[in-house]
Structure 1
Amino acid sequence: MVTLELKDEDARFLSEQLAQQFAHVESELVHSDTRNLQRELAADLRHLESLRAALTAALDRAGPRAT
């Protein structure tokens, strides 16, 4: 297991980047016509969503945004 400590600002940035990558891969999935590629992209989407959910949960545990 790898543990990574991030500042709240960096964690939010990473979460946003994961969301953008999710949207990009989702668009690729919609426009793909090969079953194997669709399966791979669907797996990537699940993995990205899992990572973002874990990051979001960690941010929620850290408390409100510092300003």
Structure 2
Amino acid sequence: MTYFISNLVIRWEYTPGSTLYVVLSQGREGETAQGDFSFNDDMRDLFAIHRHNVFLIKLNYWLSI
């Protein structure tokens, strides 16, 4: 079984106390042949399998009441 998970998080504070988060997460999972190690073959197989992308946005706004 082959797994590859990566995350990218961007945080921006546009006013004091108020933030915007943007998150991109990518996961790959698949079956690969077991046997001899070959870096080139393993990398080609990893990027050939189906990927699952998740994109999230979170906005916080500070209310000074």
Short-chain TM bin: under 0.3
Taking CA–CA contacts closer than 8 Å with sequence separation of 6 or more, which of the two structures ends up with the larger relative contact order?
A: 1
Normalising to structure 1: TM-score of the pair?
Answer: 0.25
Normalising to structure 2: TM-score of the pair?
Answer: 0.25
